[in-house]
Structure 1
Amino acid sequence: MAYKNLLFFLFFCFATSFYGQKEFIADVKIQGAEKTRIAFIKSILTTKKGNVLDSLSLEKDIVLLKRLPAISHAYYQVFHSHENAYNVFINIEENFTLIPEVNIWTTTNNVFSYKLGVYDYNFLGRNITFGGYYQFNGFDSYAINFKAENLLSKKWGLAVNHQNWKSEEPLYFGDKTANYLYNNVSFEVLALYQINLEHQIDFGVNLFSEKYSYISGATDPSIPQNLDLNKALLKFVYLYNTLDYYYQYVNGFKSQLFVQYVVTENDFQNDFFIAWNDFFYYKRLGEKGNWANRLRFGLSSNAETPFAPFALDNNVNLRGVGILVDRGTGSFVFNSEYRHTIFDKKWLAIQSNVFTDFGSWRNPGGKLNDFFQNKNLKLYSGVGLRFISKKIYNATFRIDYGFSLLNRKNGSKGGLVFGIGQYF
């Protein structure tokens, strides 16, 4: 018995000594926050007053903060307070997040078009995105968007979106093309759940109506000239994210899976399923280089219809291919580019880039081997520039010129592509 008591006493002394030497957080102080509420920042941090000082938790908190639209950069400092207690200082550099949106262009029919909007990506200082836009492209469109990732708690959020979109779009059936007025009116509600720093899921429902009205081009007895559809879309998104940001540089891996099931009641279209996954890989090369890659693979229900969901488009997948060139029920796209910073000051960075975009499609009603058919293979390469504001969220103006390396006799040989934000 004396032997057991001695062992217990020694264990007690060791445990007391071990835990007594642990370093604790006396206080967490946030510096540099002007618009972002300090109470909000503290609510999403794992590092809290009274917790054991943990450098791994601090590093994860810094990664989390740098992913927020409101914060362009963040770092921490630790200072001794008293005995085994320490003060943690988290320093942040804020982005300007009230962003106007102004676009001007002409359509294929030489209609003067414009888009005017404004979005606040840090509404009320709580990482809430709120705003909307009005667009005129010969037709009137508008949207209102609300997204609060931490509205209900650190893990639970909510997104609500409403859109009334109108545009003239080409539809393809066989070798024929027709232009239709497309009108989509939708109401969407999504629940947002952050499992942890790396994993997040979004799920919800989108109730929408679609109207197609014939404008010009070829006609076919099997293709209606007017179509009015009411639909419900069930949406699920899974995000795995290990990206780490340092101003304009990105490092790490991200995977984003989108799954949608559309329920409709009409004689022309059946219920259909669509899913695609985007894989992103970024690697910092030296002090000024960044290698960026995106791989997308998607499939949908394989109906033989001109209303197929995957579009071949300049602004989405292949730079230089043209606007809404084709549609398909399957998509495979690989984008790779090297970005090199050629100018870098406190508020502005300029990057040059060299890129290659490759893609292939499954034709509506086709087979999986459509992906390997020469006529469906597209390969573009080119160069571009990025003008990046380091103090305004997502304020990257990009210009790329892509030229075709395959099928130069069929389709676009190349062209300029402009946009806001990195291409991916």
Structure 2
Amino acid sequence: MKFKFLFFLTMLFVMTSVFSQEKKVYDVKIKGANKTKISFIKKILTTKNGRTLDSLVLDEDIVRLKRLPAISHAYYQVFYSHDELYNVFIYLEENKTVIPLVNFWTSTNQQFSYKLGLFDYNFLGRNIAFGGFYQNNGFDTYALNFGAPNLFSKRFGLAFNYQDWKSEEPLYFNNLSANYMYNNISYEVLGLYEVNFKNTLNFGLNFFSEKYKYLSGATDPSVPQNLDLDKILLKLVYMYDNLDYYYQYVDGFKSILYTQYVTSNNNFQDKFFIAWNDFFYYKRVGDRGNWANRLRMGLSSNQETPFAPFALDNNVNLRGVGILVDRGTGSVVLNSEYRYTLIEKNWFVLQGNAFIDAGTWRTPGGKLNDFFQSENIRIFSGVGLRFIHKKIYNAIFRIDYGYGITRNESKGIVFGIGQYF
């Protein structure tokens, strides 16, 4: 009896040892990386040599890779090596990431304008975004940007941005408007930190000066014709990202919270706080359809000033409304569109879309019930086309025609690079 019991314990130990052996990763092999450094790819992967083979972790790694500007598509295969060891093969399809920037347009005052620039979104093959542009819209604008989210480790990096921006902008006060030359010179440094796979933080400082110079239009004793302000901006951005990508299709939920606190030593503008949250929801519909939604909700310090931060603009929120139509100290905007792939070849996609954009604003110095006042609510609907190059990062040329549904609204065509949201 004692022998049988010892035999049972021995067999139980052997069987437990056999079945408890974990499958391990023997080697991770990267295929298809041309410009992107294999050492960088392995640095950001959670799957590594000697670790437990986990399909959930591998799926997460693939999504991480597809989020990189350098990667248009990625997938993996697992092959048995020996004992309980396995080789993991990760296959990449790279994007072209050196992108020239060339834009031409004519503003409402018939000023011919252009922007020329060059950006590399995979500089040195290490997921570093580096580039700049020059713009002339009657004034000279320069910008230089550097962002390296994995500069120090898989989770921590830095970004530096310089900009000397000049433009002619309308300001609105007492049912009147005036045109000002606006100049913003800024130096920004940000820390980029990945909390985990789905959550990231950006935080830092922006030192900038703002100059306003009166050009034309109405005047008011309470609105200065020349203004020169030095400011410091504290910035915090929190992002939750649970999106999955398959070429031009997107599926999942994403949220980005932007918070900024601006300090300034002047008698005209007080310190102020601004925050807004973008909620994104995407849903694949069949083989060719994609339903896309963005809800933006924002508030700022409610100062009664023509320099309010939230703008009503074609290129930001409502397609067809016009350029810098109005400003406010609060904003709620919903953009919803259905995208459908009309033509798809090896590298080219023609996508059509039907959309509705709706928004409402709080007037400077107003109350929260401004959001529910009919005169502050704008609704636009329309259709558009997307011309997409599948092998070049963000190579999406879009054209939309928006038509105002609410009373006495405008209509117009909006061009741009990249999806509207």
TM-score strictly above 0.5: yes
Give, as a single letter, the amino acid of the residue that structure 1 aligns with 2:99.
Answer: I
Give me the identity figure in percent: 67
The DSSP-based 3-state class of the residue aligned with 1:63 is helix
Q: Does 1:190 align with 2:215?
A: no
The DSSP-based 3-state class of the residue aligned with 1:65 is helix
CA distance in 1, matches of 2:144, 2:253: 31
Matches within 5 A, 1:54-73: 54-73=54-73
Equivalent residue for 2:32?
32
What displacement does 1:108 show?
2.2
The DSSP-based 3-state class of the residue aligned with 2:251 is strand
Equivalent residue for 1:262?
262
Matches within 5 A, 1:219-230: 219-230=219-230
Q: Does 1:252 align with 2:252?
A: yes
The DSSP-based 3-state class of the residue aligned with 1:64 is helix
What displacement does 1:7 show?
10
Q: Does 1:271 align with 2:271?
A: yes
CA distance in 2, matches of 1:298, 1:129: 28
Structure 1 unaligned segments of length 5 or more: list them.
none
CA distance in 2, matches of 1:250, 1:108: 35
Give, as a single letter, the amino acid of the residue that structure 1 aligns with 2:418.
Answer: G
What displacement does 1:88 show?
0.6
Q: Deviation string for 1:91-129 (max 9, x for gaps)?
A: 000000000000011222222211000000000000000
Contact 2:214 2:226 in 1 (8 A): yes
What displacement does 1:85 show?
1.3
CA distance in 1, matches of 2:199, 2:399: 33
Give, as a single letter, the amino acid of the residue that structure 2 aligns with 1:274.
Answer: I
Contact 2:320 2:380 in 1 (8 A): yes
Give, as a single letter, the amino acid of the residue that structure 2 aligns with 1:420.
Answer: I
The DSSP-based 3-state class of the residue aligned with 1:242 is strand
Q: Deviation string for 1:268-292 (max 9, x for gaps)?
A: 0000000000000000000000000
What displacement does 1:138 show?
0.4
CA distance in 1, matches of 2:367, 2:19: 65
Equivalent residue for 1:215?
215
Equivalent residue for 2:126?
126
What displacement does 1:417 show?
0.3
Give, as a single letter, the amino acid of the residue that structure 2 aligns with 1:339.
Answer: R
Q: Deviation string for 1:328-357 (max 9, x for gaps)?
A: 000000000000000001100010000000
CA distance in 1, matches of 2:46, 2:159: 24
The DSSP-based 3-state class of the residue aligned with 2:239 is strand
Q: Deviation string for 1:158-211 (max 9, x for gaps)?
A: 000000000000000021000000000000000000011100000000000000
Equivalent residue for 1:413?
410
CA distance in 1, matches of 2:420, 2:224: 36
CA distance in 1, matches of 2:19, 2:263: 60
Q: Does 1:233 align with 2:230?
A: no
CA distance in 1, matches of 2:186, 2:348: 38
Give, as a single letter, the amino acid of the residue that structure 2 aligns with 1:144.
Answer: L
Equivalent residue for 2:17?
16
What displacement does 1:13 show?
4.2
Matches within 5 A, 1:193-208: 193-208=193-208
What displacement does 1:41 show?
0.2
CA distance in 1, matches of 2:376, 2:15: 70
Equivalent residue for 1:297?
297
CA distance in 2, matches of 1:137, 1:368: 36
Q: Does 1:324 align with 2:324?
A: yes
Equivalent residue for 1:158?
158
Q: Deviation string for 1:188-240 (max 9, x for gaps)?
A: 00000001110000000000000000000000000000000000000000000
The DSSP-based 3-state class of the residue aligned with 1:365 is coil
With over 3 angstroms needed to count, the CA separation of the structure-2 counterparts of 1:5 and 1:334, relative to structure 1, is farther
Give, as a single letter, the amino acid of the residue that structure 1 aligns with 2:20.
Answer: Y
With over 3 angstroms needed to count, the CA separation of the structure-2 counterparts of 1:266 and 1:13, relative to structure 1, is same
Give, as a single letter, the amino acid of the residue that structure 2 aligns with 1:254.
Answer: K
With over 3 angstroms needed to count, the CA separation of the structure-2 counterparts of 1:171 and 1:10, relative to structure 1, is farther
Question: Which of structure 1's runs of 4+ aligned residues deviate more than 3 A?
Answer: 4-15
Matches within 5 A, 1:275-286: 275-286=275-286
Contact 2:322 2:410 in 1 (8 A): no
